[in-house]
Amino acid sequence: MKLPGLRLPGLPKRDPRDKARREPARAPGNRPRSRAQFNLRGRLVLVGGALALCSAALLARALDLQVIDNEFYQQQGAARFLREIPIATSRGMITDRNGEPLAVSSPVESIWANPQELLKSPARLPQLADALGMDRDELKTRLSQRAGKEFVYLKRRINPDEAKAILALEIPGVASQREYRRFYPQGEAMAHVLGFTNVDDRGQEGLELAFDDWLRGTPGAKRVIRDRRGRIVENVDLVRAAQPGRDLTLSIDRRIQYLAHRELRNALTQFDASSGSAVVIDVATGEVLAMVNLPTFNPNAVGTSPRDAHRNRAVTDLFEPGSTMKPLTVAAGLEAGVITAESIFNTNPGWIANGRFRTTDTHNYGVLDTTGVLRKSSNVGAALISRRLGNQQFYDFVRRFGYGQRTGSGFPGESAGVFPAPDRWDGTSKQTMSYGYALSVTPLQIATAYAALGNGGKLTPPSFIKGQHAPSRQVLDPKIASEVLHMMQSVTEPGGTATQAAILGYHVAGKTGTSRKASAGGYSRRYIGYFAGLVPVENPRFAMAVMVNDPDPSKGYVGGTVSAPVFRNVMEGALRLMDVSPDNLDTWLAAQAEAEAKRLKASGHALPAATTASAPAPAARAVQ
């Protein structure tokens, strides 16, 4: 701001003529130009050109992205909304030999979530946890741990109605997926044969595991578009069609299986035993008609039972076979020609030396023939037979019947047993083996060996699949097999050790076995009771082995008491179900006549002598 008349000290005074000297002379009438008027046209051209270039560049880029080189961005867009999801497929159905379902797959739903989306709505988590039946903190922790992922299962294999109710809450990021769950209609009775599947529907044990590839099928796949909440809004195309698993028909007869399960359970309850097994085989084909074990488990709720209950003891557990070994010892002696059916054995005084030990009988049976050795189950008699056989001779014979090797059934986890070669024997081994100690077998091996005796000396590997028969091999002369079979018949007749295995109207061949359980330093006073047999003797149809482990000695422990009744009750039902004709009509007719006489006596009537004498003939015709 200038103040008139003021001048800073020391500055020279300006001359007004200086301004005139600095400005050039102007022509009269000329006005100075405006800067805006001077640059307006150029600026408009410049801005217009720049805008045109930008528009052209944008159009070119849009053309490039949408028409020429659009693949990359289409892939990026598809990655955000287009998904390839699996199409679940069901496992094949398992049926018994008569077509009755044993394992079926039912559709279920699995609830899953996208943690990235779900965690954006934390206020909905308590509602979701309550609907899932989960702890709220547990759900939050699970989602937080997988916050960077787009998929996590929340609850699998639930009822479709339950899944529908959860989805009705419309919680962002929550969806469902179709799966299949295995269901076993027969429950505990069939558990060890079938096994079970895991949460991914893969076979874990039993035949579900053995035939997993056959049963499983191939899942399909399809492309879908999902919205931000994970819901499918459009099915784009089918990538691969799902191929369901193939059905499997077993050799098992569920009726015989149930009979065996029921009778074995009754025996374990009656004698307070810890476990048991039973196996039924079709003699002619080798097909397994029943296989049961106790304790058992519910395959529909596997997690509720102890792991030990899952074990199929009939094929995995090893036991010393006891006196069920004696028919093979007799057959070995007959084949070698060192004994005949009429050979005499002096078992006095009820024991015989075996190195520094003794082989003893429960009683002194005195002098026995070969049949008597089996009928009385004489350990001494079996030892005397083994002494006439060479070590290798005895070993080779027993080995032919499958002891010391797997049966070839293909069942997962099957044990081969323990039957050491002669070069590992000591001086007492052969004699001890002759009556069922110093070797170990499974109940399935016993049943298979007995089936060979009933099949004319042909050993057929057991099979769990109907119509699938492995080649048989001749392991014993048919005449010797028949001879041994008829000797075994005496075991179930009066004077034998298994009269409780007798079946009215049928000849039954069998052998009891009672072995002491090994303990530290020797054998304890705990026992395993066996019975193995065949019926009917004239044309054997069934072979069955029963094992009752660790019964209460005070209630009974010998095989003829604890296991033989199981055989009788199961075989009575099986013979009736399979319509097997009796081979002992005389006893059947006599029993019928006696029952009729008792009925008439109880009602106060009496049959005339002539009627009584003529009664059997019509009955015989009816049975035949």
Which helix (H) or strand (E) segment holds residue 60: the answer is helix 35-63
How far lies 578's CA from each of 98, 123, 267, 571, in Å? 12, 65, 24, 10
Angle at 535 between CA 531 and CA 537, to 5 degrees: 115
Backbone angles phi, psi at 292, to 5 degrees: -130, 155
Helices (H), 99-228: 115-118, 125-132, 136-145, 160-167, 191-194, 206-210, 212-216
Q: Which residues are catalytic?
A: 323
Structure tokens that stand for 192 in this block: 């060890």
Say which residue the tokens 């019964």 belong to: 551
Q: Strand, helix or coil at 393?
A: helix
Bridge partners of 335, per DSSP, are none
Q: Is the dihedral of CA 287, 293, 298, 302 positive or negative?
A: negative
Interatomic CA distance for residues 567 and 575, integer angstroms? 12
Peptide bond into 349 cis (omega under 30): yes
Say which residue the tokens 């009602």 belong to: 603
Interatomic CA distance for residues 403 and 448, integer angstroms? 10
* Dihedral angle, C-alpha 455, 459, 465, 471, nearest 10 °: -110
Angle between the N-to-C axes of helices 125-132 and 160-167, in degrees from 0 to 180, rounded to the nearest 10? 170
Q: Strand, helix or coil at 34?
A: coil
Q: Which residues contact 339 (CB under 8 A, 6 or more apart)?
A: 330, 333, 370, 385, 388
CB of 191 within 8 A of CB of 184? yes
Q: Which residues contact 265 (CB under 8 A, 6 or more apart)?
A: 294
How far lies 180's CA from each of 109, 160, 214, 216, in Å? 8, 11, 16, 11
Bridge partners of 248, per DSSP, are 94
Say which residue the tokens 């199981």 belong to: 566
Interatomic CA distance for residues 528 and 513, integer angstroms? 8
Backbone angles phi, psi at 225, to 5 degrees: -110, 125
